[in-house]
Amino acid sequence: MNSLFEKIRDLELEDPETGRFFCEMRRSRRCRHLRLSVYPDGRVVLTLPLHESEKKALAFLEEHRKWIQKKRLVFRSRSHAGSAEGENGEFFPGKTSSCLFYPSEMMLPWISSSPLKVEYQWKDCCWTGICVSSDRKTIEVSGNILDYECVENAFKLFLKRNAEAILGARIQSLAQQLGPEFYFQKLTVRLQKSRWGSCSPARRNISLNGTLIFFPQELMDCVMLHELCHLKVRNHSSRFYQLLESVCPHCHEKNIRLSQ
Ligand SMILES: [Zn+2]
């Protein structure tokens, strides 16, 4: 196997709605688990790790037939209805499962108040790049789009870069408004699941969760102000909450909204 992928064969499948269609079965050097992908154009790809048996792969495909039908139907209804509302929640679909649903649209609230279309373009290379079109209506994903990990990493990098720019500029301006006591040394942005932010007052470093850019400005500010206040008061004492309330009224209620 010289390239990253090797096609094994096309499998013919039956869909009660759309009739016959093909699923491409391929082997990948980089793939570590069996993987099933459904693309917005209706294509289905079953990817096997280098040493996985075809028998197991076919059983996996059989198990997920209903899932494939559902996803293809979603894409089909969307292409019929133009920019109909979609299930945007399925972004990063394969975090733990091996069934992938490449989103055909995504909400990027810092770019537009309506969903952006996602277009995928395959190129014979080992990387994937993501950019937003100049009219800010389309997210262009191009490169090795058949490798899910590659696409996932590209999305993560894209979000991290956006978050670094947006959160970096905002926290800098908040710190300046608050005064010299709130000066910080360094901001780190991570795409985490659990924590919204943290602060190390000794080093004057702040860390923020990059996914905050999907939240309204006031909630974003609330997390940033919380961490900035830790530069003055390390713990969660009543003195801390007094300080926080003075710079961010109703911060506690907003925190509750964030934790929901
Ligand atoms: Zn805290």
State the pLDDT at residue 235.
93
Domain ranges of the chain: 5-146, 161-259
Cα of 237 vs centre of ligand 1, distance in Å, is 10
Mean pLDDT of 53-68: 92
Cα of 93 vs centre of ligand 1, distance in Å, is 31
The SS3 assignment for 141 reads: strand
Q: Please say whether the dihedral angle defined by the alpha carbons of residues 159, 94, 73 and 45, taken in this order, is positive or negative.
A: positive
Residue that wins the pLDDT comparison between 174 and 193? 174
Task: Assign a CATH topology to domain 161-259.
Answer: Zincin-like (3.30.2010)
State the pLDDT at residue 99.
58
Beta bridge partners of 6: 27
Cα of 230 vs centre of ligand 1, distance in Å, is 7
Q: Name the token pair of 97.
A: 């499962």
The SS3 assignment for 194 reads: coil
State the pLDDT at residue 81.
46
Cα of 223 vs centre of ligand 1, distance in Å, is 9
Cα of 40 vs centre of ligand 1, distance in Å, is 42
Cα of 19 vs centre of ligand 1, distance in Å, is 56
Cα of 227 vs centre of ligand 1, distance in Å, is 6
State the pLDDT at residue 202.
95
What does the pLDDT look like over 19-54, one tens digit per residue?
888 899 999 887 788 888 888 777 888 989 889 999
**E strand or H helix at 200:** strand 197-200
CA distance 88 to 84: 11
Mean pLDDT of 235-244: 94
Cα of 234 vs centre of ligand 1, distance in Å, is 8
Tell me what percent of the chain is helix, strand and coil, each rounded to the nearest 5: 40, 25, 35
Mean pLDDT of 223-227: 96
State the pLDDT at residue 234.
94
- Quote the percentage of the chain above a pLDDT of 90: 52
Cα of 110 vs centre of ligand 1, distance in Å, is 26
Mean per-residue pLDDT over the chain, rounded: 84
Cα of 170 vs centre of ligand 1, distance in Å, is 19
Q: Name the token pair of 199.
A: 């602060």
List all residues 6 or more positions away from 86 whose beta carbon is below 8 Å from its beta carbon.
74, 78, 103, 104, 105, 115
What does the pLDDT look like over 118-144, one tens digit per residue?
988 877 777 899 999 999 999 999 988
In Å, how far are 40, 54, 154 from 86, measured between CA atoms?
12, 34, 22
Q: Which residue, among 8, 3, 11, has the nearest Cα to 29 in the 3D structure? A: 3
Cα of 196 vs centre of ligand 1, distance in Å, is 10
The SS3 assignment for 247 reads: helix
What does the pLDDT look like over 73-82, one tens digit per residue?
877 776 554 3
Cα of 228 vs centre of ligand 1, distance in Å, is 9
Cα of 156 vs centre of ligand 1, distance in Å, is 26
